[in-house]
Structure 1
Amino acid sequence: MSVTPTPTHDAVAIAAAHDDGSDETPVHGYTPAKAEYLRRLRRVEGQVRGIARMVDEDVYCIDVLTQIAAVTKALQAVGIGLVEDHLGHCVVDAARESPEAGAAKVREASAAIARLVRS
């Protein structure tokens, strides 16, 4: 079953706030480390393909679960890195702009962290 996510009001507002009509690529907190994040995500992608292959080949359940745990940990590490980059760049820049903008970015980051913790 395929689920198509619908954007939340916050996601739409965030996208609109970042769409200033320019063709310039936005610089996010992770931009300087983008190549490293992509490398790590490609590795995770390979691990997931390996898990699918293990299931297809009827590999022992515990071995599959071990690999799932490794992928989960790798994704969590990427998520934590993105949170750190967001706090150090996006939140700090917004706080320099105004207390209200900083508070909004803190709320946004808190909600994102809550989603990560629940997953």
Structure 2
Amino acid sequence: MHGYTNAKDEYTARLRRIEGQVRGLQRMIAEDKYCIDILTQVSAATRALQSVALGLLEDHLAHCVAHAAAEGGPVADEKLREASAAIARLIRS
């Protein structure tokens, strides 16, 4: 079981809303909407995706990393490396 399993429906609903936002962006481009209006919507979609990513990261830390840390050893070390790399990717994005 993954850390996000209990919130799977919530994540799915949030991602569907984001998908709708992205389709709206495509429509705005097709309809030659004002650049700044499009950029505003891109920013909103980006923040929404970042929110999902942070939630998933929190779930991962609370479930997967905490469980591995309780076990200790190389499994814990690997989970910590994975979490650190995920955080680094989020910071760069």
Q: Which range, TM-score by smaller chain?
A: over 0.9
Q: Which amino acid aligns with 2:85?
A: A
Listed as ranges, the gaps of 5+ residues in structure 2 are none
Question: What percent identity do the matched residue pairs reach?
Answer: 65
Number of the residue aligned with 2:63 = 89
The alpha-carbon deviation at position 107 of structure 1 amounts to: 0.7
Listed as ranges, the gaps of 5+ residues in structure 1 are 1-26
Q: How many residues align?
A: 93
**In the alignment, structure 1 residue 40 sits paired with structure 2 residue 14:** yes
Larger % of helix: which? 2
Q: TM-score, normalised by structure 2?
A: 0.96
Q: Which amino acid aligns with 2:17?
A: R
The one of 82, 91, 103 equivalent to 2:77 is 103
Provide runs of 4+ in structure 1 moved above 6 Å.
Answer: none
**In the alignment, structure 1 residue 80 sits paired with structure 2 residue 54:** yes
Q: CA RMSD in A?
A: 0.8
Q: TM-score, normalised by structure 1?
A: 0.76
The alpha-carbon deviation at position 117 of structure 1 amounts to: 1.1
